[in-house]
Structure 1
Amino acid sequence: MKAKTVFYCTECGNETPKWVGKCPACGSWNTMVEQPAETKKKAAPSAAARSGRSGMANLPRSIMEIETTDELRFSTGLSELDRVLGGGAVQGSLVLVGGAPGIGKSTLMLQICDNLCRFSKVLYVSGEESERQIKLRAERLGVQSQSLYLLAETDLGDILESIRTLRPDVVIVDSIQTMFSSELATSPGSVGQVKECTMALMQLAKGEGVTVFVIGHVNKEGSIAGPKVLEHIVDCVLYFEGEPHMSYRILRSAKNRFGATNEIGVFEMADSGLTQVPNPSETLLAGRPLDTPGTCVTCVMEGVRPVLAEIQALLAPSAYGNGRRTSNGFDYNRAMLLLAVLEKRGGLLVSGCDAYLNVIGGLNLDEPAADLAAVIAMASSFRDRAVPGTLAAIGEVGLTGELRSVSALSQRLSEVRRLGFTQCLIPARNSGKLTEPDGLQLIRVRNIREALAAVLS
């Protein structure tokens, strides 16, 4: 008898009996994958049984009877991770940590066990390494505690049984793609298995008040492997980013039900594990070349934290008819837009040049406040004139060449002054009250022509 198969959308998890090019639920193209049908080998247990709960069912409660002051937060021992989580981990929450292979996800989770074991019982479940391998890595990181328990298992039923027996306060699952439920006939890592295992862990966290950290792999597009619905189930989604050849790692919050999103934490990978970088602006600007054409500093907001970043540009005459365009850490389409504005509104003939744009330190700048610094860096390289080393630029560039105001400008200027800069190029019009730091000269310009005249004249 031929095994029945169905098709799942990797974006939303929608199920269809046959393949279609466009998902009928979310409208995404080419996201349907074939999987064996989720044939139940036995009757599915109730949510209470799967999470270890027993007794009467949950009864509805009046909203006025529910207390909100009992939300318990606790520190993970890493202030950078606490910042990204919104002030610490929340009891009974489900946190998904994703990243490329070898980026340091398992190292980060094992390091927080050292502090968590001082006041709680932690269970580390691994489906990729043996207990001996985890023990060797823990010794290298200096993690030793009687309250840390290791379990090398991939069967979800056995894991839940171990949790009910041990009753830990924190559970770490490494990784969700290796776990499987014996109730489903599909293989581990399939769409159905990932959804089933995550739902069981979510019900465990909410029902028993256990804090669960789940490690997930990312696909070649950089998103969490598996259905997109996986990110909707969990409370927090953290991405661990970094270049393979660089020691710095950035932990970014993409979703957080208990705090701000787009918050970042900066770490550095060393022989003894991950070390925190409490002052990322100073670290990212270390070694910055002075009196060199093609570089400019800007200030972007990562969550509620202002971070200074260096943008470098190189414009050289093209040997071919069409100039080559490359950007790293800066949106490519945005860079092409700024090049067109620079030629049309700034009067620089850059269409015949090869243009390369790079953000130092592995940061990805995705907010418009970095537009002005990118334009200044490209114009500086084109004219071969250096930007003053004590000057920073903040502002959004429009298609007519005008400069638009940005949010949280006072916070950005305070960070610029704290790092020793004495001049800052800003839009002439600002929304809201602006606080000018002492010792920082503000150069107000209305468009990019005025900006180029003020800096490169």
Structure 2
Amino acid sequence: MAKIKSKFICQECGYESPKWLGRCPGCQQWNSMEEELTTKTTYSRATTTSSGNRPIPVKEVKSGTFERYDTTIGELNRVLGGGLVKGSLTLISGEPGIGKSTLILQAGSAIADKYGTVLYVSGEESEEQIKIRAERLNSMAEKLYLVSETNIKIVEEYISQLSPAFVIIDSVQTLFNEELSSAPGSVSQVKECVNNLMRIGKSTNIPLFLVAHVTKQGDLAGPRVLEHMVDTVLHFEGERSQEFRILRALKNRFGTTSEIGVFEMKEVGLVEVSNPSAMLLESLSKEAEGAVVVATIEGTRPLLVELQALVTPTNTGFPRRTAVGVDLNRLNLIIAVLEKKMGLPLINYDIYVNVVGGLKLEGTCSDLGMAMAIYSSYRGIQLPTKNLMAVGEISLTADIRSVPQLEKMIKEAEKMGFSKCIVPRNSKVQNINNTIKVISVENIQVALSQIDV
């Protein structure tokens, strides 16, 4: 016997309530609760039957390496951990127009040429629209099949008929199960459809790519449980007005989440950027006031980026502190150290710090470069931007501390033609050629004295 009841579910986080609430207690969003009908089935007591499984020692569990598909896109393979694992569910998100559909169409065509049938299911575009994009991208593989469908049951039938090597769903929010009364894109529909796709992928060993929408804040739309259900979550970053795109892994059960992929958007589609440092430094001036090159590590790859600072007298009662690409708390910490240890009267100055290229720097590698850029802008000293790189963490005592993988950063600077590198004194650097001069400093006073001369 089935009883039909209704409940209210938050469309942002999936919080359930028996009554309507103006504000969701889970995510604090207003007007996100929507009513959905549920069917509750009552079962009689019965003896639980065994599934045939039994606990076994961990040493007896059979395991092996994951078999991966080569997408032929090196930057995508890097972020995925070496390729596309069979039977995996990969969720890719990003703002509209950022290039999600372009990337997966290029990958789908390459896999179709190399491994066999690929099914591209679109719930937002017609087959003609996808073909126009495929012709522009030169992604016209013979075994790439297109279908415009949103019914999950019909999609299952297509997968059963074609037995594809790879399936693309664009997007998961458009799918619906006709057995549920809620609208497509609701929490219940998304969870049910992803559950069905996960069952198909795991049982048939077919990898699936799911495209997901994002909210106004840039977060993944839909319930948070969606991220736990899939194996990999990728996020496409970048501005639509700029050519460069960055692909990050927010979750990866088959690899690291510290790698990034860098792409450039052109008329022929997304093109890999094999040397991101050269791309980020292509507009670098020979000498500039308040600009210095710093290094960071993204996964296993060192990146050199230009960091700029502008110090200007404030016209209001309160000085502004603006950080783009760096942590605002780190900026405030470095300003405090410069005021205390160097005697800079920065209380009456607005300070703006920006990382050129739209990259967001994590960690403390850029502390020394940030301090040098602020000092240069305040004193009006031009820095040899094309020849100098600075790496190091600044402590509250004004000491310069070592950072991980410093040797990789110095070798990258040497490869890019830099002649001087300022590093912490206690760093253990080996196997560095004589083409680059490594200057070791122990505190902020010694480091800034290098640019006062």
**Structure 2 length as normaliser, TM-score?**
0.91
| Deviation per residue, 1:330-380 (Å, 9 max, x gap) | 222322232222222232112211211111111111221111111111111
Cα deviation, 1:240-261, whole Å, max 9, x if unaligned, reads 1111211001111111111111
AA aligned to 1:73 is R
Pairing 1:411–2:390 present: no
Q: Deviations over 1:356-415 (max 9, x none)?
A: 111111111122111111111111111111222311111112223222221111212211
- The one-letter amino acid paired with 1:420 is G
Deviation readout 1:304-324 (Å, 9 max, x if unpaired): 111111101111111222222
Q: Tell me the SS of whatever aligns to 1:68.
A: coil
Q: Match of 2:104, SS?
A: helix
CA distance in 1, matches of 2:346, 2:63: 58
Q: CA separation of 1:357/1:211 partners in 2, compared to 1, >3 Å: closer, same or farther? A: same
Task: Name the counterpart of 2:6.
Answer: 4
Q: Distance in 2 between matches of 1:436 and 1:422?
A: 16
Distance verdict in 2 for CA 1:5–1:288, change over 3 Å: same
Contact 2:5 2:40 in 1 (8 A): no
Change in 2 beyond 3 A, CA 1:188/1:295: same
Specify the alignment match of 1:294 in structure 2. Answer: 290
Q: Map 1:32-111 onto structure 2 (within 5 A).
A: 33-40=32-39, 59=53, 62=56, 63-111=58-106
Kept in 1, the 8 Å contact 2:23–2:32? The answer is no
Contact 2:89 2:231 in 1 (8 A): yes
Once the 2 structures are TM-superposed, how far is the Cα of residue 179 of structure 1 from its aligned partner?
A: 1.3
Deviation (angstroms), 1:436: 4.5
Q: CA deviation at 1:41?
A: 10
Distance in structure 2 (CA, Å) of the matches to 1:364 and 1:397:
19
Task: Provide the C-alpha distance between the structure 2 equivalents of 1:227 and 1:370, rounded to a whole number of angstroms.
Answer: 36
Contact 1:346 1:401 in 2 (8 A): no
Q: Is the 8 A contact 1:126 1:174 kept in 2?
A: yes
Question: What amino acid maps onto 1:94 in structure 2?
Answer: L
Measure, in 2, the Cα distance between the counterparts of 1:304 and 1:186.
45
User: Which stretch has the larger CA shift, 365-374 or 56-65?
Assistant: 56-65
Q: Equivalent residue for 2:234?
A: 238
Q: Which runs of 5+ in 2 are unaligned?
A: 43-49
Q: 2:397 aligned with 1:400, yes or no?
A: yes
The residue identity in structure 2 corresponding to 1:35 is E
Task: Answer whether contact 1:3 1:36 (CA < 8 A) is retained.
Answer: no
Preserved CA contact (<8 Å) 2:9 2:187: no
More deviation in 98-107 or 251-260?
251-260
Partner in structure 1 of residue 172 of structure 2: 176
Report the 3-state secondary structure (helix = DSSP H, G, I; strand = E; otherwise coil) of the residue aligned with 1:197: helix
> Which residue is equivalent to 2:17?
16
2:119 to 118, 123, 126: 123
Paired residue secondary structure (1:368): coil
Matched, 1:220 2:220: no
**Deviation (angstroms), 1:293:** 0.6
Distance 1:154 1:42, change over 3 A: farther
- C-alpha change, 1:23 and 1:408, in structure 2 (3 Å) is farther
Matched-pair contact (CA < 8 Å) for 2:24–2:33? no
* Range 168-177 or range 341-350, more displaced: 341-350
The aligned counterpart of 2:46 is none
- CA change 1:434–1:348 in 2 (3 A) is same
Aligned to 2:321: 325
Distance in structure 2 (CA, Å) of the matches to 1:157 and 1:102? 29
| Partner secondary structure for residue 288 of structure 2 | coil
CA offsets per residue over residues 139-179 of structure 1, 9 Å max, x none? 11111122111110111111112111111110001011111
Read off the aligned partner of 1:255 and give its amino acid letter: K
Tell me the distance in 2 between the aligned counterparts of 1:233 and 1:4: 25
Residues in 2 aligned to 1:67 and 1:412: alpha-carbon distance in whole angstroms: 41
Cα distance between partner residues in 1 of 2:202 and 2:364:
39
CA distance in 1, matches of 2:173, 2:328: 32
Contact 1:10–1:32, Cα closer than 8 Å, also in 2: no
Q: Contact 2:118/2:165 (CA < 8 Å) preserved in 1? A: yes
CA, structure 1 residues 153+254, in 2 after alignment: closer, same or farther (shift >3 Å)? same
Quickly say closer, same or farther: Cα 1:22–1:333, change in 2 above 3 A. Answer: farther
**Letter in structure 2 aligned against 1:342:** L
- The verdict on how the C-alpha distance between 1:99 and 1:185 changes in structure 2, with shifts beyond 3 A counting, is same
1:455 CA drift (Å)? 2.4
1:163 is aligned to 2:159? yes
SS at match of 1:400: coil
Contact 1:247 1:268 survives alignment (8 Å)? yes
Mapped partners of 2:159, 2:225: distance in 1: 25
Letter in 2 for 1:415: E
Partner secondary structure for residue 97 of structure 1: strand
The amino acid across from 2:88 in the alignment is S
Unaligned runs of 5+ in 1: 44-55
Q: Deviations over 1:279-321 (max 9, x none)?
A: 0001100010121111111111111111111101111111222
Counterpart residue identity of residue 8, structure 1: C
CA deviation digits over 1:223-253, x for unaligned, max 9? 1111122111111111111112110011111
CA contact (8 A) 1:242 1:249 kept: yes
Give the structure 2 partner of residue 48 of structure 1.
none
Correspondence for 2:444 among 429, 434, 448 = 448
Q: Assess, with a 3 A threshold, how the Cα gap between structure 1 residues 148 and 22 changes in structure 2: closer, same or farther.
A: closer
Task: Return the alpha-carbon distance in structure 2 between the equivalents of residues 362 and 10 of structure 1.
Answer: 28
Is the Cα contact below 8 Å between 2:6 and 2:18 reproduced in 1?
A: no
Distance 1:448 1:251, change over 3 A: same
**Contact 1:98–1:215 (Cα < 8 Å) also in 2:** yes
Residue 426 of structure 1, CA deviation: 1.3
Letter in 2 for 1:167: S
AA partner of residue 394 (structure 1): V
Secondary structure class of the residue paired with 1:308: strand
Cα 1:369–1:246 change in 2 (3 A) is: same
After alignment, is 311-320 or 124-133 more displaced?
311-320
Distance 2:270 2:416 in 1: 25
Q: Does 1:434 align with 2:418?
A: no
Q: CA deviation at 1:40?
A: 4.6
- In the TM superposition, residue 213 of structure 1 has moved relative to its aligned partner by 0.5
SS of 1:372's equivalent?
A: helix
